[in-house]
């Protein structure tokens, strides 16, 4: 099972609303046990594309975030980004750019009044699986 802290999900929602109409992005960090994945903290990163249709993470921020995550005895679980005008599912570009099948991909949709957050795995053949996530 995958768990995400309610406060961290709220941070993603707040970031997406603050950066609207552009996509926001960042890292999901935490730890894995034998059966479960725990997303304990997010790292906000800058979308250097400043676009509502795609994102690119700032490279220097990525390296600094990975260093911080390791210093806090956590691992990078995956990344997230927002879809300001479309559903919470990977776009064709998201699938094409999903290079690491070992991480999770979070997508927050602001398409409707109530934000929708989902987590996905994307394998090397670009097959997408929506994963169950519990907010705790």
Global confidence as pTM? 0.96
Give just the sign of the alpha carbon dihedral 136, 117, 18, 94: positive
SS3 69: helix
pLDDT, tens digit, 9 for 90 and up, residues 5-62: 999 999 999 999 999 999 999 999 999 999 999 999 999 999 999 999 999 999 999 9
**Contact, 41 vs 26, CB < 8 A?**
no
Only one residue has tokens 């997230």, namely: 80
**Contact, 106 vs 12, CB < 8 A?**
yes
Q: Quick one: pLDDT at residue 50?
A: 96
Across all residues in the chain, what is the average pLDDT? Answer: 97
């Amino acid at each position: 099972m995958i768990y995400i802290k309610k406060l961290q999900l709220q941070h993603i929602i707040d970031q997406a609303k603050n950066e609207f109409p552009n996509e926001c992005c960042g890292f999901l960090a935490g730890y894995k046990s034998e059966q479960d994945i725990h997303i304990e903290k997010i790292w906000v990163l800058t979308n250097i594309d400043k676009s509502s249709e795609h994102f690119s993470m700032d490279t220097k921020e990525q390296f600094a975030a990975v260093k911080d995550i390791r210093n806090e005895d956590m691992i990078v679980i995956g990344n997230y980004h927002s879809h300001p005008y479309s559903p919470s599912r990977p776009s064709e570009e998201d699938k094409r750019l999903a290079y690491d099948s070992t991480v999770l991909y979070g997508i927050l949709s602001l398409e409707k009044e109530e934000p929708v957050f989902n987590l996905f795995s994307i394998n090397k053949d670009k097959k997408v699986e929506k994963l169950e996530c519990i907010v705790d």
